[in-house]
Amino acid sequence: MEHPPRSATWTPETIRRFWNYTSQKKSIEGEYFSFQVGDALVSLLQRVNAIKGGARVLDFGCGPGFLLEKFLRAGSFCCGFDFSDDSVTSVNQRFKNLKNWEGAVSSTTLPTPFDGALFDIVTCIETLEHLLDEMIPPTLGEIARLLKQDGIVLFTTPYTEDIEARSVYCPFCDNVFHPVQHVRSFDENTLRQLLEQHGFEVLMCRSMDLFELQRNKTSGRPGIKSLGRYWFNRIVDVVFPVRIDGTGYHAPRVSGGPNLCAIARKRNR
């Protein structure tokens, strides 16, 4: 190679095109994070009493709607938002006949058309790592606007991912880029600080292996050992619960791992 390749410069338009294309590939549906660990994400929210009958839920960055499907089955009233219009078209088609489906919308700009303080739960799953610098403040501000004062928001992102190490090279344009469009990496401190800077009170922020909370293994990682660990941890959870400091809630008994999870609420004004 005569010269080092350039790092690809993502823009809102190239991000939109990337995910419009990706959302049409049925062959990779099993690679979506919420498809793999949707039950585990619901379990986290149950631990802070967020999932109640008739709760109104927004999945911010909903993709094909795998997590929304879990909430819809539980009787929640659900909405979705995504920057990819093809993803939104797909998810609206998928759930159009469900009475508790209230629709998904797409936009290249914020705010969304939803009313403020509308949602009991907002989920932002594997989304922050895709956002450009200028997209972070309006995104977190919009999530805070949409969340009820006593609502709960769940964020997940890869834990201390080495973006450069995962980059791939395109010989046609001489660019290197992350294969699924990640542009930033977080640890517990950086994620907590970011959320606190944008008006959230962080109840829990820690790395974990969400697959240990996933009862129904759908990602090719099942086995007697992992299922045994699941049931052992659930039993110990009941007998020796791990309290989240300063709250009446309990954290999951689970190993540290590649998933960084934060549960937060709006700071009282």
Domain residue ranges in the chain: 6-211+255-266
CA dist., res. 225 & res. 174, Å (int): 44
Rounded percentage of the chain residues whose pLDDT exceeds 90: 69
pLDDT value at residue 43: 86
- 0.75 exceeded by the pTM? yes
Confidence of residue 51 (pLDDT cuts 50, 70, 90): confident
Q: Any idea how long the chain is?
A: 269
Tokens 């809102």 correspond to 12
- Span 6-211+255-266: which CATH code? 3.40.50.150
CA-nearest of 192, 213, 216 to 202 is 192
Q: DSSP letter at 115?
A: P
* Nearest 10 degrees: Cα torsion 224, 225, 230, 233: 140
Amino acid type, 252: P
β partners of residue 156: 125, 261
3-state per-residue secondary structure call for 103-163: EEEECCCCCCCCCCCCEEEEEEECCHHHCCHHHHHHHHHHHHHHEEEEEEEEEEEEECCCH
Q: Is residue 244 within 8 Å of 204, Cβ to Cβ? A: yes
pLDDT at residue 223 is higher than 70: no
Half-sphere exposure of 218 (CA within 13 A, CB side): 16
Per DSSP, helices labelled H in 105-251 are 136-146, 163-166, 188-197, 224-239
- Tens of pLDDT, residue by residue over 229-265, are 665 565 556 555 666 766 667 777 788 899 999 999 9
